[in-house]
Chains A and B, each alone.
Chain A
């Protein structure tokens, strides 16, 4: 293994694709943060709610009150720093930390693509992405390299490929392929689209979109990697993501994916791109063409870094399969659902009413969820067990602090999945105040009344 890998790890490639990736990534993230702010989401998602849903083990990550705006400023500036390649190490570390902190503040806003960005941001810290066409490299000759290790660029490609491929695997289930669900529910609601609208109600369109989507996700990494199909593949990337951007409210993600896919293109393409950009900006690209190849400062550190990134990649490969450790239907329990590139797979909604029972005298009452949660939080809470439990604990603490003594919390919950009739979701006899959060299977989730086969 070592012998085979050694020559691969000593190979170098043009730095231009990595530089282009860095620039686009930074710009996209900067725009993403500005957009988030402009929509008033900082206020709405992080400042208005009294209570935040946290990730297991990350309860200490909380919004910072008025300073939350500062955090977003920091994040935006760091993204700009990444784009410009200015004090790149600091910028990239700062961007990763601030962005990830923001994501960890409330899992109500969890999106796979935010997670993907955190992962990319993490990896970018360790890549010599500032070696070419950056302010750092312009400033200091000793930081200027025309070539970088080949694995640095390949790592980004692998990460993109993983997202697509796993998203494709996740679609190989009976709901998606045999029932065309949830597209059968979502597409007819888009009847008002110009041109496409008339098609959205047709059943064959639901099936065509489902199958084409699965096929696309599974094949696009290979089509992008393989030079002869690359051009077509990129056209498909543009078409696919534009279509999803039109059909679904998925924000920046389609555009991030489109520009990221450029990393598959040849160094020549990226050099041209930077040449054009350089002329526009009055920076000669040739200034960076030193012919020098970037080499790690310390071999030991380089070894450790590669080992760490290797483990990181391995974790990425394994995480999506962790659902196999849990009994029951994944879509129903959502145990192992997040961080697995399971996107757009479910039309799931729920409704939960919490009953608080005072243990001292048996007096009971229901909770008005709007007293504690925003509409968005309530919606996300209503069909995700870990949210339900965390909120139940919050209610327990709240009402005990109010002087009700020891209280039991029961959930009266109904969930509908992919057009099936709603079904009771949580065992109404189980006192959630006494249940604890862990990675173990939650036995108080009632079993799913139906079966979805496939991966």
Chain B
């Protein structure tokens, strides 16, 4: 008994004795599981998040200019021009959509900018009334990119009819300009917040707890993937949660060719973030974190498995026709359901394997454990 307590004591003394020596010298430890989260946060903030917002605002500025030109002289060529820049801005939005945290979360940016399907009746009644407050929560489904989708693609049977509508009623032009302005102001505010303080808050919160940046971010990131990319862009229109396909809930419903492109752009954004890829190279990322943790999965590194799963999903989705035709012309839409299954198959890899390897709690409930 005495010897036992002696062993215990020396053991503990050893632990505490060493702990007061401070950090071990780097490079000495043969098995350092010491992934520094800070450079990853810096890479995210400085190379991915802030530049993505900047790129978005550039595309948004082009949209604004082209829309002004179109509203001033509506004709088929200005319409096609503004439609092109709307598509570019919407694509660019897919690269910032997942950053719904901090300033964007405070504003509820995603709901403000991309609530679909848009409420056509509300859009029309706002335009007819001539007065509306786009800041009102009740107007969320009458603005943002989906409302612009309706105005630029769904207002008439063909381009001539749409041009005719804009020419006949200046209210459409005004409303579209206000909607664009609303998006610009909000994203500008979010970018400004990132540049004036939030970036540092984000990077400095580099610890490991339910409220640390990495933990929060990974939660938001997976939430985006599951809820908005997987379910929002594919699952709900496919009717996988109801049994009844609902093509009218597709993103960019009035521009059938775009929903798939937007999904693919979102998938690229998710995968690039995972790999830390940015415009001029790549940096510390979730993938390199996993490599550092040396997590092997079925003989293959987990980061490779996740990437492979996304590649498989991308291949199947790319092979589809437009989402709207897949859903409307097939019953059941087998090909798109198969593609959805591949998108879905990445969820357990992220939600179970990745977070458990990183010891990240998958919700913010700060309940006790034992």
Contact = CB atoms under 8 A, between A and B. Distances in A.
Tell me which of B20, B296, B349, B353 has the highest count of chain A C-beta atoms within 10 A of its own C-beta. Answer: B353
B338 to A, nearest CB: 15
A190 B347 contact: no
B362 interface: yes
Interface stretch (B28-36, B165-173, B319-327): B28-36
A139 interface: no
B19 A195 contact: yes
Given A202-B24, A229-B2, A111 B352 contact: no
Interface residues of B, number: 63
B22 A251 contact: no
Interface stretch (B90-98, B183-191, B195-203, B234-242): B234-242
Interface residues of A, number: 74
B150 to A, nearest CB: 27
Contacts of A374: 365
Contact of A111 (B206, B356, B370): B370
Nearest to A248: B369
Interface string B88-129: 000000000000000000000000000000000000000000
B295 interface: yes
Interface in B194-233: 206-209, 212, 231
B72 interface: no
B368 interface: yes
A375 interface: yes
A248 B11 CA distance: 21
A242 to B, nearest CB: 11
Interface string A342-360: 0110011111010010100
Nearest to B370: A111
Nearest to A358: B243
A253 interface: yes
A347 B295 CA distance: 14
A165 to B, nearest CB: 14
B39 interface: no
Contacts of A349: 351-352, 355-356, 362
Contacts of A282: none
A201 interface: yes
Contacts of A236: 5, 8-9, 12
Contacts of B241: 365-368
A195 B20 contact: yes
Interface string B330-370: 00000000000000100111011101111110111111111
A253 B370 contact: yes
A195 B242 CA distance: 53
Contacts, number: 165
Contacts of A375: 362-365
Nearest to A363: B243
B243 A239 contact: no
Contacts of A343: 370
Tell me which of B34, B293, B351, B365 has the highest count of chain A C-beta atoms within 10 A of its own C-beta. Answer: B365
Contacts of B242: 365
B1 interface: yes
B228 to A, nearest CB: 13
B24 A365 contact: no
A219 B363 contact: no
Nearest to A206: B33
A195 B15 CA distance: 12
A379 interface: yes
A356 B208 CA distance: 38
Nearest to B209: A192
Contact of A201 (B4, B34, B356): B34
Given A188-B33, A199-B18, A379-B362, A232 B5 contact: yes
A8 B295 CA distance: 57
Nearest to B26: A198
Interface stretch (A208-216, A314-322, A440-448): A208-216
Contacts of B23: 197-198
A65 interface: no
A376 B367 contact: yes
A273 B367 CA distance: 34
B51 to A, nearest CB: 27
A419 B302 CA distance: 11
A365 B242 CA distance: 5
B208 A192 contact: yes
Interface in A175-198: 184-186, 188-192, 195-198
A393 to B, nearest CB: 20
B168 to A, nearest CB: 43
17 contacts: A185-B356, A185-B359, A189-B208, A189-B359, A192-B212, A195-B22, A202-B33, A229-B2, A236-B12, A249-B366, A349-B351, A365-B240, A366-B240, A367-B241, A374-B365, A421-B296, A422-B352
Interface of A: 39, 41, 44-45, 109, 111-113, 184-186, 188-192, 195-199, 201-203, 205, 208-209, 211-212, 215-216, 219, 222-223, 226, 228-229, 232-233, 236, 239, 248-253, 343-344, 347-351, 353, 356, 358, 363-368, 374-376, 378-379, 414-416, 419, 421-422
4 shortest A-B CB distances, which residue pairs?
A198-B23, A375-B363, A251-B368, A192-B207
